[in-house]
Structure 1
Amino acid sequence: MGVAIRTAGEGDRELIVRLLDEAFQDDPVSGWVFPGAEDRRAKHPGLMAAFTDIVLAAGRIDVMEDGSACALWLSVPADEGHGDRDGDAEDDGPALVREAVDPDNERIEAIGRLTAAIHPTARAHEYLWMIGVAPGRQGEGLGTALIGAVLDRCDREGLPAYLEASSARSRRLYERLGFEPAGPVLDLPDGPAMWPMWREPGPYRPV
């Protein structure tokens, strides 16, 4: 690729938030959470900031050195999904995000609870929460390079990986990287589909 990948720190927060906001403004799920274009432009950055803060604190964000793409990862232990699997009051995370971003928008909380309910819990794995590529740089293989760096480690360590694809285009990319369907499609209420996908570790092939 010719572009270095590094681990983002607190000083990269604004870069990551801006990159995710631009990358997901036209994403089907973002459009479902914020149906109105004006409302989405105003409040979508706050949701991306909340996600960024969660992963900076509890996971890892990989970023291209030139700021063109980033990937948000969480290491999930066995028997512990992303949030509360039953979506009840025991997990306050989705409600806290909603309160911080837009208390009147129930869909902010709903997306967190719905994805938590389908998240596999039996085995430890790497969870790709989000990957964002600057709109003008899409199609250059940046996302593949970012994901591939972690998948190489998964193969070395024998770890599976999991994600939810939010569009048919991203699903096809993940299929090329070895991800397969991981259960029924999540159909958001009156909204688009999300595809849970799982990748078993393969034989490690050093570059």
Structure 2
Amino acid sequence: MGVRIRQADKDDRDLVVAVLEEAFHHDPVSCWVFPDEAHRRAVHGRFLGVFADITLAEGRIDVAEEGAAVALWLPVPAGAPEEEEDPTPALMRRTADPDNERCELVGRLTGKVHPHDRAHSYLLMVGVSPRRQGEGIGAGLIGAELDRCDRDGVPAYLEASSARSRTLYERLGFHFLGTAVDLPDGPRMWPMWRDPQAN
């Protein structure tokens, strides 16, 4: 049985943020950015809302199984970014938690290792409701975009935020690029790449 997928629009923003907040509430990176759980609960949705807004404007959000999972995809062109410094991390900090430098730092550190030598599809985030995890929904949701990438000859890129998710991505054909992002006194993130595969 395949995963039912539809593309989100602006009316789905609250749903997307709610799924991401629930899926990432206990994620190692989210816990590092917002160590206090009560504070995380208060500001995490605003933080994740920045990702949703950018992706709705510039990319595509796929929604699976009537809102059980979401995947945020951005097209990244080849070549170095035009701006010297990506304004998104500062926006994340301003929007979510202005006194928390970690809101900005995580984006700056991942931005430094993001490859730009080839155009690719960037999986910014994928979240599955904890009640539906382990059913293959996340893999099915990602797989739909990877099928498109394979047909179009486009690579894909992401940063795994846990050892568990890294293992899932490896099963989908991604490989670790060799330079991890070590958050100061925090968890490790793994930049991963997938070349298009012949069918």
With the shorter chain as reference, the TM-score category is over 0.9
Give the C-alpha shift of residue 64 in structure 1.
1.0
Question: What is the root-mean-square deviation of aligned Cα atoms in Å?
Answer: 1.4
Segments of structure 2 that go 5 or more residues without pairing to the other structure are none
Aligned equivalent of 1:143: 138
Give structure 1 stretches of 5+ with no counterpart.
none
Within-5 A mapping of 1:83-102: 90-102=85-97
Q: CA deviation at 1:3?
A: 4.0
Quote how far apart the aligned CAs of 1:4 are. Answer: 1.5
| 1:4 match | 4
Counterpart in the other structure of 2:66: 66
For 1:176 and 1:138, locate their aligned partners in 2 and report how far apart those are by CA, in whole Å: 16
Inter-partner Cα distance in structure 1 for 2:96 and 2:126 = 20
Which residue is equivalent to 2:51? 51
Residues of 2 paired with 1:35 and 1:188: CA distance?
A: 13
Q: Distance in 2 between matches of 1:173 and 1:130?
A: 14
| Alignment-derived partner of residue 76 in structure 1 | 76
Per-residue CA deviation, residues 165-195 of structure 1 (Å, 9 max, x unaligned), is 0001100000000000113111100000000
Please say if residues 2 and 140 of structure 2, whose CA atoms lie closer than 8 Å, have aligned partners that are also in contact.
Answer: no
**2:166 alignment partner, SS class:** helix
Q: Tell me, in whole angstroms, the C-alpha distance in 1 between the residues paired with 2:87 and 2:170.
A: 33
| SS of residue paired to 2:6 | strand
Q: Is the 8 A contact 2:71 2:126 kept in 1?
A: yes
Aligned twin of 2:35: 35
Distance 2:126 2:35 in 1: 21
1:31 match: secondary structure: helix
Cα displacement (A) at 1:91:
2.7
> Partner letter of residue 13 of structure 1?
R
Question: What amino acid does structure 2 have at the position aligned with 1:173?
Answer: L
Structure 1 CA distance, aligned partners of 2:142 and 2:115?
20
* TM-score where L is the length of structure 1: 0.93
Distance in 2 between the 1:43 and 1:104 partners? 12
Hey, what's the Cα distance between the residues in 2 that align with 1:149 and 1:203? 15
The code of the aligned residue for 1:32 comes to W
**Residue type matched to 1:141 in 2?**
G
Cα distance in 1 for partners of 2:70, 2:91 equals 24
Q: Distance in 1 between matches of 2:23 and 2:132?
A: 10
Matched-pair contact (CA < 8 Å) for 1:182–1:196? yes
Structure 1 residue ranges (4+ consecutive) displaced by more than 6 angstroms after TM superposition:
none
8 A Cα contact 2:8 2:61, kept in partner: yes
Please give the TM-score of this superposition, normalised by the length of structure 2. Answer: 0.96
Q: 1:26 to 1:161 in 2, by over 3 A?
A: same
Q: Deviations over 1:23-66 (max 9, x none)?
A: 00000000000011111111111111111111101110000141
State how far apart, in whole Å, the 1-side matches of 2:36 and 2:158 are.
27
Which aligned pairs between 1:152-191 and structure 2 lie closer than 5 A?
152-191=147-186
Assess if the C-alpha contact under 8 Å between 2:3 and 2:141 holds in 1: no
CA distance in 2 between partners of 1:201 and 1:51 (Å): 25
The corresponding residue for 2:16 is 16
How many residues are aligned here? Answer: 199
